[in-house]
Amino acid sequence: MTLLEFARGPGMQWALVIFLVGVAWRLVGTFLIARRRDLSKPKGTAYVKAGARSMIMRSIPPHELEKNIQFQHLTGYAWHLGFFATLLLFGPHVPFFQQFLGFGWPTLPNIVVLVIAGFTLAILIALVVRRIIHPVMRQISTLDDWIAVFLVIIPLVTGFLSYAHIGVMGVRYETLLGLHILSIEALLVWFPFSKLMHLFFTFPSRYQIGVSMERKGVKA
Amino acid sequence: MSAVATDIQRLREELRDRGATVKTTELPPAERVARVKEVFARRLDGNMATYLETCLHCGMCAEVCHFYEATGEGKYTPIYKVEPLRRFYRRELAPMGWLRKLVMRDITPADLDEWQKLVYDACTQCARCDMICPMGIQISPMIAVMREAIAEAGMQPAENKALAKEVLEKGTLMGVGPEDYRRVAADLAAQGIVVPLDKPKARVVMLMSAMDAMLFTSAIAATAKIMNRLGLDWTFRTNAGDAAVFDWTSGDERAKAAALRKIVAETVDAGASTLIVPECGHGYAAVRWDGANVVGAELPFEVLSISEFVGREIEAGRLKVKPLPAGKSVTYHDPCKIGRWSGVFEEPRSALKALGVEIREMESHAKTNYCCGGGAGLVLNERANKLRAGAFHIKMREADATGAGSVVTACGHCRMTFIAGAQHANWQKPIESLVELVAANLA
Ligand code: SF4
Ligand code: SF4
């Protein structure tokens, strides 16, 4: 079995199993932890509305809070969009999904996706540099933060290399493609154990703060 | 130095000296860590678990915390202030904790030394950070858990220990107790202001604040004038103790619970349907949100802050005020515990509008208001002098930018911070109390 065959076959299957089981385990395990009953009289009780509102409004904070974090905010949005656009709208990726899902969808021209991916990579590198030099980021960063950003960068880099058919130090195209797929698998395997889980936790967490502040009569 | 600023400085020094005399047996380091973990295990719930699972380490919360803004030091990042709690959760409670234990170290006694300073000197529990986190993480309640854990390990600042000890053993605060409240009432009676004390039954119970009794008897007089003008059946209960529930800020849960039980019992005993907390943010938040949970049942009365009450009475047309001469402009400082913690934004503004003053809002106001820097006991914490001054500077800048003639607020704690901060920074802006402004202009 070549590296590419492994990556496309058992590698992907195992990665998906670990991803799905791990994500379910962590979500269920967290949501099963009991919540405290609050006996104080709430000021507001429109909980669902407040929770839904926070799920949306957290993306657009008031100016006086936003003004110091514009860079992080914009780069954050930009690279997430760039990453998912590259993953889902790149011509060569869609047949891959099709083989699992049985259906495909329209894609963007390759050159557009390549530009998007290039920007995404540039932003991620800028954010890594920021994590190294900014006093707050230095203070709060953990190993998980470094591994996560590394695992997001690597698929982009290997993707460029395999698309361009650039053999690095005599490594063949098939091997590069195999590495590209393996890098995605590494991301999937690491996902449930890491901060990447915020993909699933963000909205429940936003909902919670909306509800908890609604009790206090504050739109959060 | 203004008389009040001198008094505040004297209080700080007195508290520091008292702290120096509290005798406590230091617990062995391992015992401290064990106690901290015991509090964490008791306090962590599903909401906090979700929050602790979600943090991205994006650092945005730092950018809205006045202590980070004032210093530029990464250790003042809000979420970093709860790092031991996160560590405990991740290792011992979270799904996959057993896996993390292989790579993540445990909490050490040295951690507790470090975080003791971070949570007591560098957080006013103002909750501004709660408003920005893109993940919706509510950090300030977790800081309260950190404080409680540190207090349980006997590591809170000596001043706080002294206060908690006094509340538990004597039921007074800074030596102020029922006799002092009676003395204040007698002084006011001599000025013709009726202050009904300890009526066996009353529809409305009003709390006394020890800080007001020491520094701002004018606020007590103003409250009495308003209650009398409304013709209410009301009383001060001298045994209810101090409204500030100071231990809410010190993290000593036992002392806090004792103070709250007393307040609830006195109000129930009076058969009151309403309990009004004077201009004291902590007291209001403590009674409003923790009272029922401490006694384990819903409270049989409504809890209001005086600014909320006065605003409502004015809105309903029951309390009439006469407009001030045209041209007076003010900016309103929302006390964190009354505003962001308890949703009282409109009522104080209604009162100001009725007084005909021009309200010039600060850039950060209402739910995004900057804390004055003195909340959660920092105003009396000498160790925090520098940090507090930095935070106050931000507040001053925002207030100055409004061009308003004065700052009005509705919390004695904020008022103290403003007066002392203004003195320190040689800032000339007058600081006014909402209830006093209303009482001075009753129609
Ligand atoms: S802003 Fe929220 S997600 Fe970002 S570091 Fe602070 S707590 Fe974590
Ligand atoms: S509650 Fe206020 S002082 Fe404390 S960390 Fe958050 S923003 Fe800073």
The answer, yes or no, to whether residue B246 has pLDDT greater than 70, is no
The chain B residue lying nearest A60, using CA atoms, is B134
pLDDT value, residue A220: 85
B416 vs B249, which has greater pLDDT? B416
In this structure, chain B runs to a length of 443
Average pLDDT over residues B69-84: 97
Question: What pLDDT sits at residue B240?
Answer: 85
A66, B133 contact by CB (below 8 A): no
Q: How far is CA B418 from the centre of its chain?
A: 14
Residue of A nearest to B66 (CA): A65
Residue nearest to atom 7 of ligand 2 (CA): B65
Q: Model confidence over B101-113: pLDDT tens digits?
A: 999 999 999 999 9
Contacts of A134 in chain B (CB under 8 A): 59, 74
Q: What is the pLDDT of residue B269?
A: 96
Cβ distance B407 to B373 under 8 Å?
Answer: no
Distance between A72 CA and the closest CA of chain B, angstroms: 8
pTM of the model: 0.94
**pLDDT confidence of residue B184:** 92
The pLDDT of residue B248? 65
Which amino acid, B295? V
- CA distances from residue A162 to A111, B63, B238 in whole angstroms, order as listed: 15, 40, 79
**Average pLDDT in the B331-340 region?**
97
pLDDT of residue A108: 95
Query: In the prediction, which pLDDT does B146 show?
Result: 96
- d(CA B136, CA B129) in angstroms, rounded, equals 10
CA A172/CA A183 separation, integer angstroms: 16
Query: Hey, what are B7's tokens?
Result: 């008094």
Rounded to an integer, the average pLDDT of B5-9 is: 83
Query: What is the tens place of the pLDDT at every residue in B131-151?
Result: 999 999 999 999 999 999 999
- Using an 8 Å CB-CB cutoff, list chain A residues near B68: 136
Q: How far is A215 from chain B (nearest CA, A)?
A: 9
For B351-377, what is the mean pLDDT? Answer: 95
CB B315 within 8 A of CB B351: no
Number of H helices and E strands in chain B, helices first, is: 21, 8
Does the structure show a pLDDT above 70 at B247? no
Cα–Cα distance for residue pair B334/B126, rounded to 1 Å: 11
Q: CB of B139 closer than 6 A to ligand 2?
A: yes
Q: Report the distance separating Cα A2 and Cα A45, nearest Å.
A: 60
| Nearest partner of B126 among B73, B64, B211, B40, judged by Cα | B64
Whether residues B99 and A143 touch (CB distance < 8 A) is answered with: no
Task: Fill in the DSSP letter of residue B288.
Answer: I
What is the arithmetic mean of pLDDT over B55-77?
A: 96
CA proximity to A160, closest of A185, A179, A186:
A179
Name the pairing type of β-strands B302-305 and B431-433.
unpaired
**What residue ranges of chain A have pLDDT lower than 50?**
none
First-to-last C-alpha distance (Å) of chain A: 54
Region of poorest pLDDT, from B47-51, B158-162, B200-204, B227-231: B158-162
Q: Under DSSP, is residue B206 helix (H, G, I), strand (E, B) or coil? A: strand
- pLDDT at residue B284 above 80? yes
Q: Identify which of B171, B4, B285 has the alpha carbon closest to the alpha carbon of residue A43.
A: B285
Residue from A33, A43, A129, A138 whose CB has the most chain B CBs within 10 Å, to mutate: A33
Contact indicator for B210, B3 with CB cutoff of 8 Å:
no
- Tens-place pLDDT, residues B158-214: 888 888 788 778 878 888 888 899 999 999 999 999 999 999 999 999 998 888 888
Given a cut of 90, whether residue B64 has pLDDT beyond it is: yes
User: Do B138 and A209 make contact, defined as CB atoms within 8 angstroms?
Assistant: yes
Out of B50, B128, B132, the one facing A201 most closely (by C-beta) is B50
Whether A69 sits inside 8 A of B131 (CB atoms) is no
Structure tokens at A210: 């909306």
Percent of chain B with pLDDT over 70: 98
pLDDT at B250: 72
Domains annotated for chain B, with CATH where assigned, are 29-153 (1.10.1060), 164-313 (3.40.50)
Burial of B129 (0-12, 13-18, 19+ CB in 10 A): buried
B441 has pLDDT over 60: yes
Nearest-CA residue for atom 3 of ligand 1: B55
> Measured in angstroms, how far is the CA atom of residue B146 from the centroid of ligand 2?
13
How far are the Cα atoms of A175, A176, A189, B347 from residue A4, in angstroms, in the given order? 6, 8, 18, 68
- Tally A–B CB contacts below 8 A: 181
pLDDT at B252 exceeding the cut of 90:
no
Q: Predicted ipTM?
A: 0.94
| Burial zone of A208 (CB within 10 Å; 0-12 exposed, 13-18 middle, 19+ buried) | buried
B contact residues 125-164, partner A, Cβ 8 Å cutoff: 128, 130-138
The rounded radius of gyration (Å) of the Cα atoms in chain A is 21
Distance from C-alpha of B148 to C-alpha of B252, rounded to nearest angstrom: 6
Q: Do A193 and B96 touch (CB under 8 A)?
A: yes
DSSP conformation letters of B235-269: EE-GGG-BTT-HHHHHT-HHHHHHHHHHHHHHHHH
Q: How far is the CA of A97 from the centre of ligand 2 (A)?
A: 45
- Distance to chain A for B58, nearest Cα, Å: 7
Report the alpha-carbon distance of residue B164 to residue B155 in Å, rounded. Answer: 13
What domains are there in chain A, each with its CATH number? 3-216 (1.20.950)
The whole-number pLDDT of residue A169 equals 64
Return the percentage of chain B with pLDDT > 90, whole number. 77
Min Cα separation B86/chain A (Å): 12
Amino acid at B238: T
Ligand 1: residue whose CA is nearest its atom 4: B58
**Looking at residue B241, what is its pLDDT?**
77
Four-residue CA torsion sign, B121, B122, B128, B130 = negative
**Secondary structure letter of residue B74 according to DSSP:** G
Distance CA B87, CA A142 (A): 12
Average pLDDT over residues B61-77: 97
Tell which of B135, B298, B304, B369 to mutate to test the A interface (max A CBs under 10 Å): B135
Q: What is the pLDDT of residue A138?
A: 96
- Tokens representing B248 are 């809410």
Contact B54 A44 (CB under 8 A): no
Ligand with smallest separation from the Cα of B125 = 2
On average, the pLDDT of chain B sits at 92
